[in-house]
Homo-oligomer: A and B are copies of this chain.
Amino acid sequence: MFFASDNTGPVHPQIMDALARANDGYATPYGNDPLMDEVRTRLREIFEAPEAAVYLVATGTAANCLGLACIAPPTHTVFCSPNAHIHEDECNAPEFYTGGAKLTLVGTEDKITPEVLHATIAAEGSRGVHGPQRGPVSLTQATEKGQIYDLDELAALSAVARDHDLPVQMDGARFANALVALDCTPAEMTWRAGIDVLSFGGTKNGCMGVEAVILFDPAKAWEFELRRKRGAHLFSKHRYLSAQMAAYLRDDLWRQSARRANANMARLVAGLRERNTVRLRYEPVANIAFADLPRATVRRLLEAGAAFNVWDGDVEGEDPDTPLTIRLVSDWSLPETEIDRFLDLVRD
């Protein structure tokens, strides 16, 4: 009953096999391995972006921060959701990698709306040289709360950014989960919707530790390479990053794994909806749910060995009926029996 995160599960067997197959003889280091050629070609095909620059790093924070650093000068500010990973979960890595750019929070909700984005950008940047300059807009797809921007929303948000001549970065640590939920093409969800720089996640969806950064406009490619090296994120034995990503892309594994992760969440959510004492906080459409459960239920689950994050509230409190907010995350590897066992424990 592991719902703690999509980074606690195992690596997909096809990816482990690919690593074993890559482990043969000698290979040129630092991204010049033949598998990287395959990765680059495949990602360009998948994204219908033959000119895009494509790079691999090992962590999602590195992907976000190196991508942002190429488009956010240190005197600028990045517009993002108050729940954005770059704001809450990267220990000032964006500030570090950009050389001190600021993050301006857009509104108070998880999902950014075009209206609030416009108002925030308009308010920021009225002070000439004194204030931070308007920089890129960063969108998280799927969000940290498991929500998804549909294509119209993405287009509207990008239009606001474009009106102010600002680039758009997408934190796609859960890109695949969003894509299969929307049932659109990768191009539709990115450059056709105005995205300039993408973090294309692999780690949370079955890889060991690999993320692609895609610069749809390759003008900053060399700068990215320098920043990656300077950030200590250029792997010498790069073939083992390439092998993961190549296997992830082969045979549609990336979409299949995301479909399974989302289906697992759908099964869980369907069960939770049937419980009177459970209240869902968001409409879960990908592989994350936030739910309010009575304290007694939360305790029962924890005692039975379920793993998840208690987001709000104190498990040790007295009143057994007080609702606590918990976060539930599913990945591809979660057995349906475990989901059902969890649901059994959430009996009213």
Contacts and interface: CB of A to CB of B under 8 A. Distances in A.
Interface of A: 2, 4-5, 7-11, 16, 19-20, 23-30, 57-62, 65-66, 73-77, 88-93, 95-97, 99-103, 105, 127, 129-133, 203-204, 208-209, 223, 225-227, 229-237, 240, 307
Given A23-B10, A26-B307, A95-B95, A209 B230 contact: no
A197 B130 CA distance: 23
B127 A99 contact: no
A313 to B, nearest CB: 12
28 contacts: A2-B25, A5-B236, A7-B29, A11-B23, A20-B20, A30-B130, A59-B233, A61-B229, A62-B232, A74-B99, A74-B230, A75-B91, A75-B223, A75-B227, A88-B130, A89-B131, A90-B229, A93-B230, A95-B102, A96-B99, A96-B230, A105-B105, A129-B229, A130-B229, A203-B236, A209-B240, A231-B231, A232-B233
Contacts of A129: 30, 91, 225-226, 229, 234
A24 B10 contact: yes
Contacts of A62: 232-233
- The interface centre, meaning the residue of A30, A132, A133, A203 with most chain B CB atoms within 10 A of its CB, is A132
Nearest to A61: B232
Contacts of A223: 73, 75
A89 B16 contact: no
B8 A27 contact: yes
Nearest to A133: B226
A102 B100 CA distance: 9
Contacts of A4: 26, 28
Contacts of A99: 74, 96, 99-100
B209 A237 contact: yes
A10 B27 CA distance: 8
